[in-house]
Every structure is written in structure tokens, then in C-alpha cells.
């Protein structure tokens, strides 16, 4: 049986009421299984946090029994759709890994929120993108993701160079088309598209093969 999630240690400080008062907030919570894990643990802390910030909670998105590795999460997908409709001003989560499946996924979501003017708060990591510290974390995450992309691209280029040096032919193998078959089908009045479909190539390739025969 999976262990129950424990409450985040410590109490987040009371935030002084200021210009961010009355921002419309939503919460996102997720548990991987319904066996011993209760998303209410996360939701309760988020509600209390929003109450201290003076933010009205206008929506709750909870994925229960959904693995974090899954591409599709119904409630998270609904949250992103509602973000594009500008239905809230800030997203609050219990922990990064409850929201995103990877650093790159988190960064893409944060970039989307930033473009829409939506802030993001993670209680466990105490990150709030509306603060200077939160903006710095966002910048660091972006730099890490960019470094990761650069390293992957360089490994791919190095692999291609190595393959070429060994004389390997790269790219999709060329399909051989019999010009005689193309000519025979054309003589029967078959269209170029139909010829390509029958021979497993594009209409343009079939046409080019007929020109080679000429």
C-alpha cells in the first residue's frame, strides 16, 4: 500500500495585503494512485495559502490516480485551456513534481503562463514567479533547459559526423520505381496520384520516374 502524502513542513508566512490582493487563483493537485494517496492533503494547504494571500480561489483542478509520466492529464489539460481563456491570474501547486513531469515540461508551462500574464506558485519549493526570487528561478530553469537542448543537439551532430566518417549513408533510403510500370499504368489512364499510391511513392516521384524512362 502506498504511503499517504505528508503535509508540507513549516508554515508559510502571512503575506502582507498589497497590490496583488484579489488576484483570481486556482489550484492544481495530483496523486499517482487512489490507494492511500489523498489529493485533499495538497488542496487544503493551497486553500489556506490563498486565504492568507487574500486571493479568491476560483477553480480547483485535481487529477487523481494519474501518473506524472503520462502525456495527457484531463484536469491539467483543462487548466491550460482555461489559462488561455484568462479565467484566472495565478496557479498554485503543492510541489513542482505534482504539476510537471520534467524540467522541460515545467518550463514550457511557465513560459505559457508568463505570456498570458499568469503567475505560478509552488508551496514546497516556495517559488512565486511574481517575486524577484521566483523570476530568478524561472531564469535558471530556462538556462538549464537550454543547456540540455544544446548538449543533445551536439551529441546528434557528433553522431552524424562519426557516421559519415565511417562511410555510412544517412537519411531515408531511396525507393526504386520501375519506369516501365509507370508507363504501363499511364497508358491505362491511371492518374499520377493513383500510380504513386500503387507503387508506394508520391505522385511526384512516379512522374519523375516516367521522365527518366524518356
Separation of alpha carbons 182 and 212, rounded Å? 11
Determine which one of 32, 124, 130, 202 is catalytic.
32
Concerning whether 32 is annotated as a catalytic residue, the answer is yes
Phi and psi angles of residue 92, each rounded to the nearest 5 degrees, phi first: -120, 130
- CB burial of residue 52 (10 Å; 0-12, 13-18, 19+): middle
Q: Residue 29: how many CB atoms within 10 A of its CB?
A: 26
Which amino acids are annotated catalytic? 32
Amino acid at each position: 500500500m502506498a504511503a499517504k502524502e505528508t503535509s508540507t513542513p513549516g508554515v508559510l508566512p502571512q503575506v502582507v495585503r498589497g497590490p496583488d490582493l484579489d488576484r483570481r487563483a486556482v489550484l492544481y493537485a495530483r496523486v499517482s494512485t487512489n490507494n492511500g494517496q489523498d489529493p485533499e492533503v495538497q488542496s487544503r494547504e493551497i486553500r489556506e495559502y490563498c486565504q492568507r494571500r487574500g486571493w479568491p480561489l476560483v477553480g480547483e483542478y485535481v487529477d487523481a490516480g494519474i501518473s506524472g509520466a503520462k502525456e495527457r492529464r484531463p484536469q491539467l489539460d483543462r487548466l491550460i485551456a482555461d489559462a488561455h481563456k484568462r479565467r484566472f491570474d495565478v496557479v498554485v501547486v503543492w510541489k513542482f513534481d505534482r504539476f510537471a513531469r520534467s524540467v522541460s515540461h515545467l518550463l514550457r508551462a511557465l513560459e505559457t503562463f508568463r505570456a498570458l500574464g499568469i503567475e505560478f506558485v509552488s508551496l514546497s519549493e516556495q517559488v512565486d514567479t511574481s517575486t524577484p526570487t521566483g523570476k530568478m528561478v524561472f531564469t535558471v530553469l530556462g538556462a538549464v533547459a537550454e543547456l540540455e537542448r544544446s548538449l543533445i543537439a551536439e551529441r546528434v551532430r557528433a553522431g552524424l559526423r562519426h557516421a559519415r566518417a565511417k562511410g555510412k549513408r544517412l537519411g531515408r533510403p531511396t525507393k526504386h520505381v520501375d519506369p516501365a510500370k509507370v508507363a504501363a499504368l499511364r497508358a491505362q489512364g491511371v492518374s499520377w496520384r493513383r500510380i504513386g499510391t500503387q507503387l508506394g511513392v508520391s505522385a511526384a516521384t512516379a512522374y519523375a520516374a516516367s521522365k527518366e524512362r524518356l
